[in-house]
Amino acid sequence: MIARRILITGATGAIGSALAMVYAAPGISLCLHGRNKARLDEVAQACRKQGAEVQTQSLDVRDLGELRSWLVTLWAEAPIDLMIVNAGMNTHVGADGCNEPWSEAEAVLDINLRATMAMCDELIPFMRARKTGQIALVSSLAGYYGLPMTPTYCATKAGVKAYGEALRGWLADSGIQVNVIMPGYVDSTMCTEMPGPKPFLWTPERAARRISRGLAKNEARITFPFPLDFGTWWLAVLPSAISQRILRLLNYRV
């Protein structure tokens, strides 16, 4: 399927803005979302320069009422071919080993998981009626196995992975493609603020090109970079006692 109308949440962030630029071209209509209006306008302008038609929306995805009504309005204007659910947040345990701040843990749950599921819940009936559409959910390699510094983030990304895989199976015969994107470390504000080692760091531009290629081929799981994908996959497969030891040896500890 050739996606002509593409929605990207978190288009003000590193990966989201790089994705917008990868897709921006004549004949493409982009619906870009982010809370930072000044940054959103900048990204929109850059995409228009590349020939895309662009509309923007600034809202907090935790407001599910506003989020859902935006999707309904968008669809009423014209169907969405590809929805990339990318907006996300992270938190981590304190340097002294204290809990993740609960208010932040709740926000991570709401943004990474609840908003993602609400967006799918809203658009799937429209896509099913149209018998076509593509939904890409941004999870993380951190969704394979829980990392000690970021328990809530890992839980949400494991949730997004499982949810996306389930949707792919459920909707396979409805003409809807569902893809789970699992990046490793990509240079961004979120990544920089996260404690711990960041091996095999990719630029957002490289990540966006890899993601767009994977989506064009309808890959079930779009994972990168290979060494980190291979390593984290093994963490999930090995007995947990061994995985825990490996993480400590690699300095993934509080």
Ligand X SMILES: NC(=O)c1ccc[n+]([C@@H]2O[C@H](COP(=O)([O-])OP(=O)(O)OC[C@H]3O[C@@H](n4cnc5c(N)ncnc54)[C@H](OP(=O)(O)O)[C@@H]3O)[C@@H](O)[C@H]2O)c1
Active site residues: 153
Q: Which of 7, 8, 14, 120 binds ligand X (CB under 6 A)?
A: 14
Q: Which of 45, 55, 189, 203 binds ligand X (CB under 6 A)?
A: 189
**The one segment of 13-21, 127-135, 209-217, 224-232 that binds ligand X by CB under 6 A:** 13-21
Q: Which of 7, 8, 16, 159 binds ligand X (CB under 6 A)?
A: 16
What minimum distance in Å lies between the beta carbon of 150 and ligand X?
10
Picking from 158, 67, 176, 155, the residue whose alpha carbon sits closest to that of residue 118 is: 67
| Window 37 to 96, contacts with ligand X (CB under 6 A) | 60-62, 86-89
The answer to whether residue 24 forms part of the interface with ligand X (CB under 6 A) is no
The answer to whether residue 137 forms part of the interface with ligand X (CB under 6 A) is no
The dihedral built from the CA positions of residue 62, 63, 65 and 70, taken in this order, carries a sign that is negative
Phi-psi region of 175 (alpha: psi -120 to 50; beta: other; left: phi over 0): left
Residue nearest ligand X by beta-carbon distance? 13
Taking CA atoms, 141 is separated from 37, 145, 184, 220, 228, in Å, by 30, 8, 5, 14, 8
3-state secondary structure of 136: strand
Number of neighbours of residue 41 by Cβ within 10 angstroms: 16
The answer to whether residue 214 forms part of the interface with ligand X (CB under 6 A) is no
- Using the structure block, give the residue that is written with the tokens 């990204």: 43
The answer to whether residue 183 forms part of the interface with ligand X (CB under 6 A) is yes
Residues in contact with ligand X by CB under 6 A are: 10, 12-16, 34-36, 60-62, 86-89, 111, 138, 140, 183, 185-186, 188-191
